[in-house]
Structure formats: structure tokens, C-alpha cells
Structure 1
Amino acid sequence: MNNTRPAIVLLHGLLCDADTWADFIGPLSRLGHVMTANLSGIGSLPEAARDVLASATGPLIVVGHSMGGRVALEMARQAPARCHALVLMNTGYQGLSEGEAEKRMALVRAARSEGVQAIAKDWLDGMIAPRTRSDAALMARMRAMVLRSTPESFAGQIRALIERPDATDLLGRIACPVLFMSGTEDRWSPLDRHADMASRVPDAVLEAVEGAGHMAPFEAPEACLSAIIGWLARRGLVA
């Protein structure tokens, strides 16, 4: 490592955008330059990783949520020397599972024929903890974000996920420290999957986000921020 302070790159997930990080940007900006990548138009995870790497310079701390976590892994594959730390939230590492492609493509067909609004409610309901549904303001915020996506953008993201590389072998080769995080109520990318990932990485820590579902950056931003900043400070990656 050199003495240049790493930039912090924030990568959002499927049907999300930079609003994922609305509560994170201010606090993290006090630690270094923060960049929020736009993954709305992607069609390939490796290509998305290449584009993000090209848009940033120097060493990086990469924070990826859900699909963004998979892009972060591809960045670590392509530029291991530049990735000084990874924070992987509510994500996964394996390739396509049996029956997954058809389920994902059914959502694409619905979005193309009826608009993203046709899938927004059911999709969000599957991503959040039960208690989150009672927070009307948060639900409205997340729904508005989902509705900012277009059917074609969604289709491209789904194509990227269906064609995603399996990162099993990569995990054991990651040289930088990794913080894995997942909500205790995440049914899509459960905590035990993150424990499995952490066991495969040479230098990894697992953090459980109590009471949060798959949308932990929205559902528990303070807990997520505290865990990230504390971990970075303990590793000497931020002042």
C-alpha cells in the first residue's frame, strides 16, 4: 500500500440507485473522497467493474450492496492491488442456481409489459424485514427509488446477474480485508451465507445487522455506518 488515502466507492443493488447511500455519503466523506457509481444501465458485472475502476483513480475502499457486492468482487478480481478493503452487504458469490433464470426473467417480462410498478410492491416486500412495512415514509422512499428504474435498465441488470461469474475460487484469493454484513431478517441473502463467504476469505469479519432485511442500508443505516466506520478505523484504513 502507498500513503494515498483510498477513495470510497459505493455500489448500489438491483432496482436501486444512489439513494441507497443517502445516509452514508456525509459521514463517509469525512474519511475520504466518496464516489457513488451508477449501475442502472449495466448488462454485465465484469464490464460494470471495469467501468467503475476506469472512473476512479488510486487505491479504493469498495462498498457494495446486493448486486453491487458482486460488482465489488469483480473489481477485486480485475484490480486486486487497487482494492484496499471491501465491504460486502446483503450479497452472494455463487453462480446461477437451478430455476433462478426463469424466475428472474418472469419479472422482466412483467416489467416490460406492465411497467416497473407492476413488480415494485412484491419485489420490495420480499426484500425487507416485516417491521419495515410499518415505516410509511421509508416504504414510500424505497418505492419511489424502484420506480425510477426503467424496464430496459432492469432487464440489463437481470441479464448481468443471470450471466454472473461464480466467485467461489476468487474468495480465497482476496488479499485485502473484507467486512461482510447482512441483516438478521434477510431472506434473500441470509446471514449464514455471509458466514460461509467470510470463512472462505483469508482476512474477513462478519457483522450481523439486527432487525434488518435485504435492504439494510435503508432499514438500519446507523448500525451499518457504525460497523463500517469502526471496522475501517480498526484496520487503520481511515484516520
Structure 2
Amino acid sequence: MEPIVFVPGLLCTETLYAPQIVAFADRPIMVADHRQHNTIPEIAADILAKAPERFALAGLSMGGYISMEIMRQAPERVSRLALLDTNPRADTPEQTERRQFLIKLTREKGFTKVPHLLYPGFVHENRLEDEDLKATVVEMANETGPDAFIRQTEAIMARDDARPFLPAISCPTMVLVGDGDTLTPPSLAQEIHGLIPGSELVTIPGSGHLSTLEAPSEVIAALSAWLAR
């Protein structure tokens, strides 16, 4: 059984993959720590230093940016790749401006409001009033903390456009997206799918950006098929 390395998104912990970790408990599983470094290449190198020699790799959102960088640094170590609700492009000026605002808010007024400001973008519009899901998201954010949030956000702002490197990916690849993902919409998943030869595109109905928590059984089914390829 090949091990799986899961890479969480911004302000997310292993809780992001809790349903999937249970579902694939027969395999060795590592959840990457992406909280210690200031750039995507440094985070990727740190994960590679700690990961098994060869592994299946799955990353959501920021975890996808990191996974694409891992593929650039050490493609021979990845047996298969799953990119969930992510974006192959560099930040737009508008995205960077919003991130800088959130960093400024964190530094000047504290971190308390930040998870609540981010939550509506993280989930499908039908989950905006889902207090249990919101509590999970806020808890992950608080566990990550303000210092790591600033490091992660600076890493995201400085990331490279991954698109030039995607056609070189040759392992079995699945690209998955929630049909209601407003942060990294389905058009971006379609772009990734078009750039990675032989990749599979899966769209999850009724899910937003945090598909692993919003539609756990559908994501588990998609990952099961991916692991069987």
C-alpha cells in the first residue's frame, strides 16, 4: 500500500482531511506541516525531507500550490497526484491586496475576526449558516494561529505561476473541485486538467472550496478511484 501525504490549505490542519484519514486508515498517512516556512519552495522542500521515499500526494487549495511545487522539485518521488480546489496561477493584484489587508488586520487588531471573514469564501453558499462547519473552520484557524497565518499568506502571495510546469507531470493525476467553489472556481480546475496530460477531472455537486469536509463521502469515492488507477 503506497503511503498518502495530505497537504492542508491555508489555516487548515489535519482536521481538513479527517474523514479521508479514517477512510484510508489501512495505509500509512502523513499530514504535512505547512506552518513553519515563508515560501512555497521552502515548505515543499521541508515536506520532502520528512515524507516517505515514494508516496501518493493530495493537496487542497494552498496544499495544491505546495503539491505542484513538490512535483517540480521531486516528481520521481510522487506515485500519483490529487489537486483539490486549487489554482495553478500566481496571485492577481486584487488577491494580493486582500491578503495584505488581512495581514494588516492581524497585526494591528488581532486575529480573532480573520477566520470569520474568510469563512464565506471557504464554503458553498448553502453552508454559510452551518454552525458546526464554521466552528470546525474557526478551530483549525485558531490552532494554526496568527504567526503561521502571516507566514502562509506571504508564501501564497509570492508563489510562482505553476502552469508552465504542469505539462511535465506524468503520474496518474486527479483534479477535483466543488461546483460552488468561489475561491478557486471550476474554470481553474478545468485549466489544470487541460494542462496535465491524461488527468481526470471530478466536479463535486453542492460543495464549495473545502470539499473534503463539505462532501466527504464524494471526495473519498473520488480518491478511492484515483488510488486504484
Using the TM superposition, give the Cα deviation of residue 126 of structure 1 relative to its aligned residue in structure 2, in angstroms: 1.6
Secondary structure in structure 2 of the residue aligned to 1:100: helix
1:120 counterpart residue number = 115
Using the TM superposition, give the Cα deviation of residue 133 of structure 1 relative to its aligned residue in structure 2, in angstroms: 2.5
**Higher helix proportion, which one?**
2
Code of the residue aligned with 2:91 in structure 1: it is L
TM-score, length-scaled by structure 2: 0.96
**Structure 1: gaps (5+ residues):** none
Q: Would you say the 8 A contact 2:179–2:185 is kept in 1?
A: yes
2:159 pairs with 1:164: yes
Query: Deviations along 1:46-87, whole A, 9 cap, x unmatched?
Result: 111111111012211000010001111111111111111110
Q: Would you say the 8 A contact 1:61–1:83 is kept in 2?
A: yes
2:4 counterpart residue number = 8
**Which of the numbers 89, 92, 95 marks the counterpart of 1:94?**
89
2:18 pairs with 1:22: yes
2:137 pairs with 1:145: no
Code of the residue aligned with 2:23 in structure 1: it is P
**Which of the numbers 170, 176, 182 marks the counterpart of 1:181?**
176
1:58/1:149 CA distance change after superposition, 3 Å: closer
Query: Deviations along 1:121-176, whole A, 9 cap, x unmatched?
Result: 12111221122123322221222212223222111111101111211111110111
TM-score, length-scaled by structure 1: 0.92
Superposition CA RMSD, Å: 1.2
Code of the residue aligned with 2:120 in structure 1: it is D
Query: Deviations along 1:186-225, whole A, 9 cap, x unmatched?
Result: 0010111101110111120000011010111111111101
**Structure 2: gaps (5+ residues):** none
Q: Would you say the 8 A contact 2:79–2:171 is kept in 1?
A: yes
1:231 counterpart residue number = 226
Using the alignment, how far apart are the partners of 2:127 and 2:80 within structure 1?
30
Using the alignment, how far apart are the partners of 1:52 and 1:9 within structure 2?
9
**Which of the numbers 36, 42, 54 marks the counterpart of 1:41?**
36
- Higher relative contact order (Cα pairs below 8 Å, separated by 6+ residues): 2
Secondary structure in structure 2 of the residue aligned to 1:43: coil
**Which of the numbers 208, 211, 214 marks the counterpart of 2:209?**
214
Code of the residue aligned with 2:95 in structure 1: it is E
Secondary structure in structure 1 of the residue aligned to 2:75: coil
1:70 counterpart residue number = 65
Secondary structure in structure 1 of the residue aligned to 2:144: coil
